[in-house]
Structure 1
């Protein structure tokens, strides 16, 4: 069982780290990460190996139980805080609701600790403490309290998500439905089985397997589904943007290799942790800097001749313009690489790539540069372009 919960904790921790890796952090993101991280901590604390280690470290039999219940209560509180931030509202209202949640669950945690101190639980139980001590004064109340606190938070979360899922579409609706599914797995697979096993003990029956065998994996599955529901609508668009950034970064390769010697921008840090969008931003800035450096070498006669050839070949006006600009740029790069003097009257034509925001124009220019036979690279590394005269 320890392996199952440790894996669940690892996955939850990874999702929280992915959310925090995003550059924009707001209260909703922070509260989401806090909830997922506390969920991971619950799994770590509830593993039998962890419980045994905590008990040995403190020298108190079953000390890991109130620790786990307290962390679970903090996790339940984080779910309610997440709901408050998700609903939004004025800062004063959000702050007031958050403080109420913290106060209520802080009191619950204090009650759990006090009840454990008052209880007589000297026999160490790593897997079945809830049912083994189900009829023991104070332990009984402690177990019921932590379950009720967790139930209140998850049912509130489920209700809000069900109502909201009818009002939204797309990834957000999918995420909300996954959250509801995760909560239902927790309610039916973890909470209901715990309640049933404990009630069975109260009535003189033995259904301990529900608490020891069924509840832990169902809780893990519910938490993983719950986490995916939160992460999916927040990370999937970001992942798609990073994928587009990687694609554009590669497509700008031919343009960057051609103009790189003319760029005076500082070299980007070659760090493994840089995301594709960050690399793309560096390349975009460097290319624009190189285009500015090559502007004195832009020959209008080269551009006009290439434009006439492209239009004569039946190419659309926009495509012909980009192709002509690619030829002019290739010629300018050749002149600059050969250390020729700038033109006395360089072209005043403004490249399309500098007129549009983003990398779309640069990608078009790079594609035309790679495809144009007039801008092909000679074996000696220079660029073939028609002579201006």
Structure 2
């Protein structure tokens, strides 16, 4: 049980690192702060509820079952953070948001105080690490404390479900997918944790024993619900970044032929360690380096090579744009050969601008690289030139 709960808490908490991808600027965003607060508090609830944590807290404080009000107070704080998150998600005027946040904090702050007071008034001298809710279900003050913390958590999660359903009809894409995952995780909490706890406690009130719902089903369902919610929190932020890096990796590979052609001419400083850098970072450096290499080769650009190759491409059935890119690839390849052979550059440099330098992003460079790698016209022998196949 300890391992399952601690693992769920770790995964739940680590999802904050995705949201805090920019630690210096993220805290300025109330939505990011409230989301991370909810995730961290949810992870702390799981940690505090583990039997190993409970026994350690009880031993350190010298108070039997001291971990109970600690866990229940943390759960109430987590419930409050969910409502604060919803307030920031829905948005509105700053005054309205501040007013609603303060109301939530006041209500759940009072609930935490009541939980502590009820525990102090109760007689709970027998340490219970896994079945405290059912063991003390009929004990004065402990009974009220148990019901109050469950009701406080239920109120927050039911509001969470309502908002996810309502808002999910208004949005689409990844945000809707994230809301659905949060809804599923919250429903797992409602049905698997809260309903199990209510049923087990009510069974004790009527003289029956359904403790397995509280000790076996509820903790596992709470962990599963927390993991599902954490996935819903980070999905709208994580998946676009993952897609960008995946596309960046593909563009990095497709730029290989062009980079092989111009790398000797590039003077761009190499980053300290490219092996462990993310694909988007490596792609940016590769773009900068290729542009630097093309700039260094510009004095060797031969417009005659470009024009002859363009005319040949048009006769071969290429579109105007395809013919332009193929012609530019032939001109770059010819310039790279001249520069590598240490020939003298042209006295009057070409003023022609490559298509890859006119568009933003790696798309233009990728087209140029593809033309270098695939077009037979690039490796053809224009008049007065000798061109070897790029290696």
Which residue matches 2:119? 116
Which residue matches 2:340? 337
1:21 equivalent in alignment to 2:21: yes
Moved more, 363-372 or 222-231: 222-231
Taking structure 1 as reference, are residues 270 and 7 closer, same or farther at Cα in structure 2, changes over 3 Å only?
A: same
The correspondence of residues 202-281 of structure 1 with structure 2, limited to 5 A, is 202-270=205-273, 274-281=277-284
Which residue matches 1:61? 64
Taking structure 1 as reference, are residues 384 and 95 closer, same or farther at Cα in structure 2, changes over 3 Å only?
A: farther
Which residue matches 2:46? 43
* Alignment TM-score, normalising by the size of structure 1: 0.91
Q: Deviations over 1:36-80 (max 9, x none)?
A: 222122111111122122222333221221221122112111111
The correspondence of residues 305-324 of structure 1 with structure 2, limited to 5 A, is 305-324=308-327
Partners of 1:360 and 1:227 in 2: how far apart? Answer: 35
Partners of 1:387 and 1:92 in 2: how far apart? Answer: 75
Q: Deviations over 1:74-99 (max 9, x none)?
A: 21111111101110112222222222
1:87 equivalent in alignment to 2:84: no
Which residue matches 1:104? 107
1:347 equivalent in alignment to 2:350: yes
Q: Deviations over 1:332-372 (max 9, x none)?
A: 22222333332112221110101111111011011111223
Partners of 1:52 and 1:65 in 2: how far apart? Answer: 10
Q: Deviations over 1:226-260 (max 9, x none)?
A: 22222223322222122111111111122122222
Task: Tell me if structure 2 keeps the 8 A contact 1:300–1:346.
Answer: no
Partners of 1:356 and 1:58 in 2: how far apart? Answer: 66
Partners of 1:224 and 1:94 in 2: how far apart? Answer: 28
Moved more, 164-173 or 72-81: 164-173
Partners of 2:99 and 2:316 in 1: how far apart? Answer: 70
Moved more, 2-11 or 122-131: 2-11
How far does residue 374 in structure 1 lie from its aligned partner after superposition?
A: 5.9
Partners of 2:335 and 2:295 in 1: how far apart? Answer: 11
Partners of 2:382 and 2:62 in 1: how far apart? Answer: 83
Partners of 1:177 and 1:262 in 2: how far apart? Answer: 52
Q: Name the count of aligned residue pairs.
A: 383
Q: Deviations over 1:122-162 (max 9, x none)?
A: 21111001111122222222222211111111011111111
Taking structure 1 as reference, are residues 354 and 9 closer, same or farther at Cα in structure 2, changes over 3 Å only?
A: same
Partners of 2:328 and 2:78 in 1: how far apart? Answer: 59
The correspondence of residues 363-378 of structure 1 with structure 2, limited to 5 A, is 363-373=366-376, 375=378
Which residue matches 2:389? none
Which residue matches 2:174? 171
Taking structure 1 as reference, are residues 60 and 273 closer, same or farther at Cα in structure 2, changes over 3 Å only?
A: farther
Partners of 1:268 and 1:88 in 2: how far apart? Answer: 42
Partners of 1:19 and 1:386 in 2: how far apart? Answer: 58
Q: Deviations over 1:148-206 (max 9, x none)?
A: 11111101111111111222233333322222222121111111111122122223322
* Alignment TM-score, normalising by the size of structure 2: 0.91
Taking structure 1 as reference, are residues 384 and 176 closer, same or farther at Cα in structure 2, changes over 3 Å only?
A: same
Task: Tell me if structure 1 keeps the 8 A contact 2:302–2:335.
Answer: yes
Query: 5+ residue gaps in structure 2?
Result: 387-391
Pairwise CA RMSD = 2.3
Task: Tell me if structure 2 keeps the 8 A contact 1:178–1:225.
Answer: yes
Q: Which of the numbers 380, 384, 388 marks the counterpart of 1:387? A: 384
Query: 5+ residue gaps in structure 1?
Result: 377-382
Task: Tell me if structure 1 keeps the 8 A contact 2:326–2:377.
Answer: no
